C-alpha cells in the first residue's frame, strides 16, 4: 500500500481575540505550528516555530489575544470564531490574582497598604459548576494556567471530583494536584495533565503528583455516600498539606465538578449533598469563598439563593466552542486514558510530519512498556465497595434494608466464576497504617491510591492470575479495589 500523501500545510491568520477551533476523528492527528505572534490553548502558550501535535479525538481551540499566524495539517473539523468569552475568563483571573496577593501578604504577616485594610484576604477557593459540556474543565485549566504563567511562583491546586474524567492517571478517581507549570492540551485523556506515577522519569517538566482516592465508577449517583466520603478525605488531606505550604495555600484551589453536581436527572437532594460535601471538605482555615457557574442562569440563581450570603457566586458565559460529548465518546476517552497510563502516548503522525511535541513532550519520551506478571490469588487482597449491583439507599423500597452497606468493603474471590475480575481495572491502595491498633474496618475507604492494575487472565485451577501494571513490582501483601472500569483493546 502506498503512504498517504503529505497534505500541503494550511495557514490561518487569526485576528486579535479570536480562536481557531478544531476537532479530530478517531485515528487521526494534527500538527499545529505557531508561525508568528502569540497564541495559547486553554491558557497554555504555544512555542513559536515548534510543531505541536494533537491526537486521540482531541477537540480544542488555539486562541490569540493580539493576533497570530498558525500553520497546520488538516484536522477533521475546523473553523475560526471571534466570539469567545476569554475576556470574562481573564477578568475572573485578575480578581483571583488579587486575592492570591492579599492572601500571601496575610499568611506571611507582611504590612497591608491602607487602601486594602478592609479587603478580605482569603485565597481563592473556587467550586466550578455548570451543566454538561459547558466547558468547566476548560475554564479550570485556563484559570490554573493563567495563575502559573504570572511568574509569581503560584502553584494552584486543581481538585477533580469528576470520576468520569478522573483528572490525572485514570478514570474513577477523585484527585487533587498542585499545578507547577502550564497544563498542555494534546489529548482529551487526562485533560488536566499527566501524573508522574505513570510517566517516564524524563517527563519531569510536566509530570504531576496527584493525591488520589479510588471511587471506581463513572457516575456520582452510583454510590453517593462513597463519593461524599472521598471528597471529605481529599479535603482533609489537602488542608493538612496547606498548613506546610504557604505559597500553595495562597495560590488557592479550583474544584472541577461533573455535570451531575449542577443539572441532569439526579435528584436535587443528591446534587445539594455533593455540593455541600465539597464546600465543607475544603474549608479549614479559610472557607470556600467562590462558586463559579459556567453558562447556566437557573443554577446561578439557585446558588445565589443557597450560598449567596456566605460566599461569592459568579456567573461566566459558556464558550460557543465547547463540543457536546456523547456517552460513547466519553467511554472511548476513558480507554485512551487507561491505555495511556500503561503504554504512554502512541500517536500516529499526520502524513508528511516527521517530528513535533505532544503535550509539551518529545514523542520518543512518551512511550512506556508495562509489565505482565503472574501472581497467586493469595498475593493480592481484592475488595469491592458495597455489593456489585447497588442502588443508592434512598432508591430502595420503603422498609427494605441492605444486606451489604454501600460503604462496606467486600472481599472478592478471584476463584469465584462470577468475580467480575477478568479485564477489570483495579486500584492499588497505599499500605494501611503500620500500627495495628490504629486500624479500623473501613480503612480501605480512606487510603489513597498508588497506581492501577488490569487483570488480563485468571487461571482458576492453578489459582493464578496475570496482571498488567506500569512497572514490574511485587504485589504480595498489597490491597486493591475493583470498580466498574474494564480494560478494552483499542
Ligand atoms: N473554545 C473551545 N473550542 C473548541 N473546543 C472546546 C472549547 N472549549 C472546550 N472545548 C472542548 O469541548 C469539550 C467539552 O469541554 P469541557 O470538558 O471543558 O466541558 P465540561 O463542562 O467540563 O464537560 P463535562 O460535561 O464532561 O463536565 C472538550 O473536548 C473541550 O476540549
Q: Which atom of ligand 1 is nearest to the CA of 134?
A: 21
CA of 317 relative to ligand 1 center, distance in Å: 13
Residue with the smallest CA separation from ligand 1 atom 9 is 322
Task: Tell me the sheet residues that pair with 173.
Answer: 214
Name the residue among 243, 47, 275, 256 with its Cα closest to residue 168: 256
CA of 139 relative to ligand 1 center, distance in Å: 9
Q: Which atom of ligand 1 is nearest to the CA of 140?
A: 18
User: Three-class SS of residue 266?
Assistant: coil
What is the pLDDT at residue 204? 39
Q: Which DSSP state fits 379?
A: T
Residue with the smallest CA separation from ligand 1 atom 8 is 322
Q: Summarize pLDDT for 384-402 with one digit per residue, the tens.
A: 998 655 555 555 555 555 5
pLDDT averages per 10-residue partition of the chain, 490 residues: 62 96 93 96 95 94 97 88 97 96 88 76 91 94 97 93 84 92 90 62 51 92 90 86 84 92 72 82 66 93 90 94 93 92 84 83 76 93 78 56 74 91 94 79 89 94 94 87 92
What is the pLDDT at residue 201? 39
Give the residues surrounding ligand 1 with Cβ less than 6 Å away.
21, 59-61, 130, 132-138, 188, 258-259, 319, 321-323, 325
Residue with the smallest CA separation from ligand 1 atom 19 is 135
Q: Which atom of ligand 1 is nearest to the CA of 139?
A: 18
Q: ipTM > 0.90?
A: yes
Looking at the chain, the domain(s) classified CATH 2.40.30.330 span 371-394+403-486
Q: Report the distance separating Cα 259 and Cα 261, nearest Å.
A: 5
Q: Which atom of ligand 1 is nearest to the CA of 185?
A: 31
CA of 124 relative to ligand 1 center, distance in Å: 23
Sheet holding 68-72, edge to edge: 10-14, 68-72, 30-37, 51-54, 357-358, 361-362
136 known member of a binding site: yes
What is the pLDDT at residue 205? 44
134 known member of a binding site: yes
Q: Does domain 86-316 have CATH number 3.40.50.300?
A: yes
Note the pTM of the prediction, 2 decimals.
0.91
Cβ neighbours around 50 below 10 Å, total:
13
Q: Report the distance separating Cα 99 and Cα 62, nearest Å.
A: 28
Q: Are 185 and 169 in contact (CB under 8 A)?
A: no
Q: Which atom of ligand 1 is nearest to the CA of 188?
A: 29
Name the residue among 313, 322, 289, 374 with its Cα closest to residue 136: 322
What is the pLDDT at residue 287? 55
CA of 43 relative to ligand 1 center, distance in Å: 14
Residue with the smallest CA separation from ligand 1 atom 6 is 322
Q: Report the distance separating Cα 423 and Cα 82, nearest Å.
A: 46
What is the pLDDT at residue 344? 84
* b/e 261-289 (16+ beta carbons within 10 angstroms → b): bbbeebeeebbebbbebbbebbebebebb
477 known member of a binding site: no
What is the pLDDT at residue 199? 43
Looking at the chain, the domain(s) classified CATH 3.40.50.300 span 86-316
In sequence order, the 6+-apart residues with CB closer than 8 A to the CB of 79 are: 20, 21
CATH of domain 371-394+403-486: 2.40.30.330
19 known member of a binding site: yes
H or E, element range at 290: strand 290-294
Structure-block grid coordinates of residue 65? 489575544
135 known member of a binding site: yes
Residue with the smallest CA separation from ligand 1 atom 1 is 321
Q: Which atom of ligand 1 is nearest to the CA of 22?
A: 4
What is the pLDDT at residue 271? 81
CA of 18 relative to ligand 1 center, distance in Å: 17
CA of 129 relative to ligand 1 center, distance in Å: 13
93 known member of a binding site: no
Amino acid at each position: 500500500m502506498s503512504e498517504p500523501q503529505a497534505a500541503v500545510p494550511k495557514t490561518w491568520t487569526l485576528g486579535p481575540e479570536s480562536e481557531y477551533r478544531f476537532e479530530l476523528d478517531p485515528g487521526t492527528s494534527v500538527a499545529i505550528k505557531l508561525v508568528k505572534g502569540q497564541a495559547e490553548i486553554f491558557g497554555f502558550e504555544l512555542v513559536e516555530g515548534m510543531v505541536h501535535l494533537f491526537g486521540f479525538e482531541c477537540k480544542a481551540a488555539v486562541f490569540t489575544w493580539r493576533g497570530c499566524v498558525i500553520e497546520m495539517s488538516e484536522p477533521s473539523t475546523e473553523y475560526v470564531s471571534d466570539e469567545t468569552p476569554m475576556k470574562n475568563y481573564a477578568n475572573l483571573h485578575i480578581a483571583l490574582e488579587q486575592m492570591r496577593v492579599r492572601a500571601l501578604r496575610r499568611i506571611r504577616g507582611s504590612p497591608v497598604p491602607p487602601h486594602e485594610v478592609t479587603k478580605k484576604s482569603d485565597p481563592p477557593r473556587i467550586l466550578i459548576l455548570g451543566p454538561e459540556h459547558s466547558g468547566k474543565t476548560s475554564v479550570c485549566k485556563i484559570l490554573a494556567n493563567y495563575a502559573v504563567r504570572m511568574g509569581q511562583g503560584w502553584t494552584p491546586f486543581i481538585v477533580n471530583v469528576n470520576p468520569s474524567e478522573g483528572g490525572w492517571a485514570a478514570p474513577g478517581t477523585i484527585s487533587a494536584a498542585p499545578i507547577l507549570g502550564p497544563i498542555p492540551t494534546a489529548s482529551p485523556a487526562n485533560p488536566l495533565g499527566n501524573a508522574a506515577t505513570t510517566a517516564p522519569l524524563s517527563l519531569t517538566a510536566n509530570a504531576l503528583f496527584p493525591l488520589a482516592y479510588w471511587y471506581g465508577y463513572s457516575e456520582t449517583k452510583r454510590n453517593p455516600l462513597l463519593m461524599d466520603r472521598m471528597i471529605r478525605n481529599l479535603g482533609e488531606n489537602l488542608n493538612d498539606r496547606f498548613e506546610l505550604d504557604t505559597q500553595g495555600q495562597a495560590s488557592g484551589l479550583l474544584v472541577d465538578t461533573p455535570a451531575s453536581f449542577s443539572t441532569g436527572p439526579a435528584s436535587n437532594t443528591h446534587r445539594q449533598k455533593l455540593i455541600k460535601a465539597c464546600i465543607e471538605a475544603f474549608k479549614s482555615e479559610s472557607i470556600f469563598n467562590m462558586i463559579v457557574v459556567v453558562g447556566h442562569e437557573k443554577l446561578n440563581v439557585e446558588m445565589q439563593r443557597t450560598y449567596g450570603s456566605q460566599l461569592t457566586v459568579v456567573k461566566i458565559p459558556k464558550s460557543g466552542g465547547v463540543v457536546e460529548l456523547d456517552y460513547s465518546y466519553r467511554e472511548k476517552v476513558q480507554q485512551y486514558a487507561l491505555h495511556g497510563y500503561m503504554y504512554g502516548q502512541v500517536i500516529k503522525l499526520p502524513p508528511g510530519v516527521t517530528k513535533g511535541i505532544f503535550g509539551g513532550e518529545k514523542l520518543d519520551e512518551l512511550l512506556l512498556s508495562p509489565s505482565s506478571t503472574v501472581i497467586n490469588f493469595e498475593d493480592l487482597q481484592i475488595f469491592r465497595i458495597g455489593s456489585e449491583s447497588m442502588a443508592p439507599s434512598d432508591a430502595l423500597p420503603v422498609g427494605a434494608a441492605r444486606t451489604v452497606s454501600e460503604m462496606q468493603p467486600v472481599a472478592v474471590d478471584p476463584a469465584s466464576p462470577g468475580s467480575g475480575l477478568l479485564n477489570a481495572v483495579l486500584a492499588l491502595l497505599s499500605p494501611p497504617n503500620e500500627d495495628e491498633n490504629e486500624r479500623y474496618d473501613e480503612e480501605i475507604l480512606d487510603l489513597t491510591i498508588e497506581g492501577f492494575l488490569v487483570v488480563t487472565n485468571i487461571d482458576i485451577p492453578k489459582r493464578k492470575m496475570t496482571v498488567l501494571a506500569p512497572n514490574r513490582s511485587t504485589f504480595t501483601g498489597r490491597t486493591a479495589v475493583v470498580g466498574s472500569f474494564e480494560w478494552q483493546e483499542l
